[in-house]
Amino acid sequence: MLPPASSLTDFQTIDLQEFAEETRYKFLTASVVPRPIALVTSLGSGGVLNAAPFSQFVIVSVTPPLLAFVAHDLPGGQKDTVRNVLSSGSFVINTVSESMAVQVQQCSEFFPPDVSEVAVVGFRTLPSEKVTPDRIAESPLQFECRLSRSVEFGDHGSHTTMIVGEVLLVHCAAGVLEGHRVNHARLNPLGRISGRAYVKTGDVLHV
Ligand SMILES: Cc1cc2nc3c(=O)[nH]c(=O)nc-3n(C[C@H](O)[C@H](O)[C@H](O)COP(=O)(O)O)c2cc1C
**How distant is the alpha carbon of residue 88 from its chain centre?**
19
**Mind listing the pLDDT tens digit for each residue in 136-155?**
999 999 999 999 999 999 98
Say how many C-beta atoms besides its own lie within 10 A of residue 95's C-beta.
25
Using the mean position of ligand 1's atoms as its centre, give its distance from the Cα of residue 186 in Å: 25
DSSP state for residue 16 in the 8-state scheme: G
pLDDT of 156 over the 80 cut: no
Rounded (10°) CA dihedral 153, 26, 198, 51? 40
pLDDT at position 35 is 97
Pocket test for ligand 1, best of 25, 32, 48, 54 (most atoms within 8 A of CB): 54
Tell me how far apart the alpha carbons of residues 106 and 8 are, in angstroms, rounded to a whole number. Answer: 41
Instruction: Read off the pLDDT of each residue in 17-39 and give the average, rounded to a whole number.
Output: 96
**Mind listing the pLDDT tens digit for each residue in 163-175?**
999 999 999 999 9
Residue 135 near residue 93, CB atoms below 8 Å: no
pLDDT at position 6 is 80
Which residue lies with its CA nearest to atom 7 of ligand 1?
Answer: 54
Amino acid at 176: V
Helical residues (DSSP H) of the chain, grouped into ranges? 21-31, 80-88, 101-107, 117-121, 184-187
pLDDT at position 100 is 98
Residue 106 near residue 57, CB atoms below 8 Å: no
Tell me how far apart the alpha carbons of residues 90 and 135 are, in angstroms, rounded to a whole number. Answer: 12
pLDDT at position 4 is 87
Which residue lies with its CA nearest to atom 15 of ligand 1?
Answer: 108
Using the mean position of ligand 1's atoms as its centre, give its distance from the Cα of residue 39 in Å: 9
**Mind listing the pLDDT tens digit for each residue in 51-107?**
999 999 999 999 999 999 999 999 889 999 999 999 999 999 999 999 999 999 999
Pocket test for ligand 1, best of 32, 55, 84 (most atoms within 8 A of CB): 55
Q: Which atom of ligand 1 is nearest to the CA of 196?
A: 31
Tell me how far apart the alpha carbons of residues 59 and 107 are, in angstroms, rounded to a whole number. Answer: 23
Q: Per-residue b/e over 108-137, b at no fewer than 16 CB within 10 Å?
A: beebeeeebbbeebebebeebeebbbbbbe
Using the mean position of ligand 1's atoms as its centre, give its distance from the Cα of residue 194 in Å: 11
pLDDT-based confidence at residue 7 (cuts at 50, 70, 90): confident
Residue 42 near residue 80, CB atoms below 8 Å: yes
Q: E-strand spans in 2-86?
A: 38-43, 49-54, 57-61, 66-72
Spell out which residues line ligand 1, taking CB within 6 angstroms. 37, 50, 52-56, 69-72, 79-81, 104-105, 108, 110, 192
**Mind listing the pLDDT tens digit for each residue in 106-137?**
999 999 889 999 999 999 999 999 999 999 99
Tell me how far apart the alpha carbons of residues 205 and 207 are, in angstroms, rounded to a whole number. Answer: 6
Which helix or strand (DSSP H or E) is residue 146 part of?
strand 141-155
Tell me how far apart the alpha carbons of residues 193 and 33 are, in angstroms, rounded to a whole number. Answer: 6
Using the mean position of ligand 1's atoms as its centre, give its distance from the Cα of residue 108 in Å: 5
